[in-house]
Amino acid sequence: MKLNPKNAFTLVELLVVIAIIAILIALLLPAVQSAREAARRTQCANHLKQLGVAAHNFENSHGELPPGTTGYVDGVWNGVTAWVQLLPYLEQEVIEEMATIQPDEYWDSAGPYWANEIPTYFCPSDDAKGRRIDNLNKTRSNYVLCYGSDVESLEGFQTQQCGPPDCDHETDGAFREREARKMSSFLDGTAHTIIMSELIAGKCDVNDGINCSPWDQRGVWSTPFMGSHAYTHRLTPNSSERDDFTYCPKPSGYDHPDIPCHRTHDSTTTNQLTYVAARSYHPGGVNTVYGDGHVVFHSDSIDLFVWRALSTIATGEPISAL
């Protein structure tokens, strides 16, 4: 009697099937990752849209935008940021009330309000959510106010000796220290003026005195320092050039591949030129929101003249050039 051979895979056939499956996974994985990042970028743009609406609602209520920070009052730095002032328009009234301080109190007198995470202030492409600056217990964030085209002329809020009229914190952008902007001052047009963009949150959360000294305070919504709550258009998005600001970790400068920075001055220096670029983990660019509330994704390769022109409120660049 003749026996039928058993039906089965040979070892070679099994290896071929495994190899085919591995190739298919390798081909599909980038597409899946790309789709996920596209979804994260869309969510990030939606957050910026909400922030633009919140700024408009604030302006409707007060007749002007909030100042970037509230600045000096009677010689005391009362530096509550615009992100704090916008909280009631993001259904976060309770946290905003915690930040209420008296005019003669220093900016951090209110204490623990900054330990609260604000969901709208996070971009899901970054890992800022859940991280805090160690003993300060300050939560991170990923969105920054536009302070204009170049630098903040004097970072006088680093020292209590620098106040008006000695420190000029004027900018050519939508936000500035101490002084609020009216929408009527946007002579270039709100549809042609960027008011907010993205920032990769600093990676030094713990001041270890060696590699992270001090903390990297980029991306801290409650802190009134350049890079924490604000940025400028001196550099194009995701520039390989370093940000220049006071709280760059390490005296010799701190190089992170995505957020390089340089520190040439300390907290006792009054004449400081400071700037931080818009940065994100989205491939190829950053999201921005304009004064009229529309959101645009701008490429890293955008012309520097155009990028700077889009950050100014009243410098008269012809629209055709943009």
Q: Give CA torsion, residues 45, 47, 50, 54, to 10 deg.
A: -120
For residues 170 and 68, give the distance between their C-alpha atoms in angstroms, rounded to a whole number: 11
Q: How high is the pLDDT of residue 304?
A: 95
Higher pLDDT, residue 264 or 309 = 309
pLDDT tier, 159 (very low <50, low <70, confident <90, very high otherwise): very low
Identify the pLDDT of residue 264: 63
Please provide the size of the chain in residues. Answer: 322
Q: What is the pLDDT of residues 240-258, one digit of tens each?
A: 999 988 788 876 556 788 8
pLDDT for the residue numbered 152: 58
Q: What single-letter amino acid sits at 43? A: Q
The answer to which of 86-95, 152-161, 287-296 has the lowest mean pLDDT is 152-161
Instruction: Give the Cα separation of 100 and 103 in Å (integer).
Output: 9
Q: The whole model's pTM is what?
A: 0.82
Mean pLDDT (whole number) for 222-227:
87
Pairing of β 138-139 and β 295-299: unpaired
- Among 282, 197, 194, 280, which residue's Cα sits nearest to residue 231? 197
Render pLDDT for 95-132 as a digit per residue (tens, 0 to 9). 877 766 554 455 555 567 888 899 999 999 999 999 98
The pLDDT mean for the chain works out to 82
